[in-house]
Amino acid sequence: MSQDKAITLSVDAMGGDQGPEIVAEGLKRFLQADPAASVLLHGPRQRLEPLLAQSGFGDRLQLVHAPDAVAMTDKPSHVMRHGKSTSMWSAIEAVRERRAGACVSCGNTGALMAVAMLRLRKVEGVNRPAIAALWPSRNPQGFNVMLDAGADIRADQDDLLAYAMMGASYARNGLGLERPRIGLLNVGTEEHKGRAELKVAGELIARAAERGAFDYVGFIEGGDIPSDRVDVVVTDGFTGNVALKTGEGTATLISGLLREALMKTALSKLAALLATGSLKRLKTRIDPRQVNGGVFLGLNGTVVKSHGSADATGVAAAMALAARLARSDFSDRLAGRMATIATMQPDAGEEVRA
Give per-residue pLDDT as tens, 145-190: 999 988 888 899 999 999 999 999 899 887 889 899 999 999 888 8
Q: Report pLDDT for 286.
A: 57
20, 47, 57, 183, 312 from 26: Cα distances, Å: 10, 16, 14, 34, 4
Could you give the 3-state DSSP secondary structure of residue 206?
helix
pLDDT in tens, 261-282: 888 888 888 887 877 777 676 6
* Amino acid identity, position 249: G
pLDDT in tens, 83-110: 999 999 999 999 999 999 999 999 898 9
pLDDT in tens, 44-58: 999 999 988 877 888
Which range has the worst mean pLDDT, 101-110, 239-248, 323-332, 344-353?
344-353
Q: Which long-range contacts (CB under 8 A, 24 or more apart) does 59-68 make?
A: 60/31, 61/27, 61/31, 62/38, 64/40, 64/90, 64/94, 66/14, 66/42, 66/90, 66/91
CA distance 155 to 87: 31
Label residue 348 by pLDDT band (50, 70, 90).
very low
CA distance 158 to 149: 17
Label residue 211 by pLDDT band (50, 70, 90).
confident
Mean pLDDT for all residues in the chain: 87
